Amino acid sequence: MRTILGFLAVTAGFALAQTPAPARAARAASVSGQVSIGRNGQPWAVSAGDWVPPQQVISTGSDGYASFRVAGGSSFEIFNNSRVVFRQNTTESGDLLDVIDGRVRVHLQPSATQLQQRIFCPVASIIAREPATIALAVDEDDDVRIDVIEGSVRVQHAFFPQKEPVLVTAVDAILVERDERISRRLDRGSLYRFTVRSIKDVWSAITFGHTGSRDGEAQFSSDRLLAKASSFCIQLSGP
């Protein structure tokens, strides 16, 4: 009898370990601080190893950070004081994330069955037709800064769509404002609409770290970004 019970326990444990992932879900690879999803109108804490199904709002607190992995190789990181919706549009497998506010870093990896992957924010959509890594920061006016770290993406304004989206390649950036058409240049004047704190947050999202660096390091990072912006305008490639 003991042998049979032991065998059943081992078999049950093996079965649980082999349980397939929920369809099109994201798995929390790393979580620190306050990270939650909404469930029955109440916030539920997210822990490392948890699966997050589609159409869930993921929120982080002032000390929150989480990274998620998606089948096929895509991944995303959510930094502090941010809100996103994972796969809000379930009819399109390539629609990965809706960024409501805050900062995220996303690696887009379109699969063989996807022509593209898309990220949405209040004033723009970002389209990747090849592997790309980007950082997004949405400010209090819903304006968004998009920094392309690897690869290239196409950016389309939500309210002033163009015939062809603007192509943004690695190490380039673009600022999309709610009431302005997308320009092919990012000039100093646009950068200064963001506060110094916002710029530091953008740089923290691009560089490694969870909720940002120590004060001295953050100031150094923001100074570098401001110096780079003041030395030249970032010329974006045309479609």
Q: What residue type is 82 in one-letter code? A: S
Q: Is residue 193 part of a domain?
A: yes
Q: In this predicted model, which residue has the larger pLDDT, 76 or 189? A: 76
Which 3-state string (H, E, C) describes 112-159?
CCCCCEEEEECCEEEEECCCEEEEEEECCCCCEEEEEEECEEEEEECC
- Quick one: which H or E segment has residue 78? strand 75-78
| Three-class DSSP category at 16 | helix
Both tokens of residue 239? Answer: 């479609």
Q: What percent of the chain has pLDDT over 90?
A: 54
Look up residue 192 and give its two tokens. Answer: 């200064």
Residues 182-207: what's their mean pLDDT? 49
Cα 185 to Cα 194: distance, rounded to the nearest angstrom = 16
The CATH number of the domain where 191 resides is what? 2.60.120.1440
In whole angstroms, give the CA distance from residue 183 to residue 134.
19
For residue 5, being part of any structural domain is answered with: no
Distances (CA, A) of 124 to 18, 26, 192: 39, 23, 20
Residue 2 within a domain? no
Q: What is the pLDDT of residue 224?
A: 38
Between 111 and 2, the higher pLDDT residue: 111
Residue 107 has pLDDT above 50, yes or no: yes
Contact indicator for 137, 80 with CB cutoff of 8 Å: no
| Lowest model confidence (mean pLDDT) among 104-108, 163-167, 186-190, 203-207 | 186-190
| Residue 63 domain flag | yes
Residue 64 is part of which domain span? 23-235
If one counts the domains in the chain, the total is: 1
Residue 155 lies in a domain: yes
Lowest mean pLDDT among 23-27, 86-90, 195-199, 219-223: 219-223
Taking only the tens place, the pLDDT of each residue in 73-102 is: 999 999 999 999 999 988 888 899 999 999
Is residue 12 domain-resident? no
Asked if 166 contacts 174 with a C-beta cutoff of 8 angstroms, the reply is yes
* More reliable by pLDDT, 5 or 30: 30
